[in-house]
Amino acid sequence: MALIVAASVLFLDQLTKFLATKYLSFNQSLPLVKGVLYLSLVHNRGAAFGMLKGLNIFFILAALAAITLIYLNLRKLGWRRIAITTASLSLILAGALGNLIDRLAFGYVIDFIDLRIWPVFNVADSAITIGALLWAFSIIKARK
């Protein structure tokens, strides 16, 4: 089940990035829900919020390390086991892979979801964030 979750999220991430680059021009912003949700194509050469620009090799190595650790943990937990921890690690794995693919292919991460109150992001970023929140929840739940 973990592989299906990770593969599905990775596919959705890469598909939406492909469509964003095909139908939007760089720095173009298209309102979907005016004042709330826009599609804005940007190239993120840094980390979250565009910080630490110019450290692409660091981000590639960090992603590879994280992917390896997550993969090993998923193998240890059991790929078919459905649990919050497994789901969270699958989401983080998919997000890390999605952004790693961009960094290796282009030297930057393709972002396009724009809420105007938050930096522009993508499906991979969302998967990492949701996965991290689920992981924190599973740790808190395990301690009780």
Report, as residue numbers or ranges, the catalytic residues: 111, 125
Rg (CA), the chain: 16
Residue 1 vs residues 15, 84, 88, 93, 95: alpha-carbon distances, Å:
21, 12, 12, 13, 16
* Contact indicator for 77, 62 with CB cutoff of 8 Å: no
Q: Cα separation of 28 and 35, whole Å?
A: 15
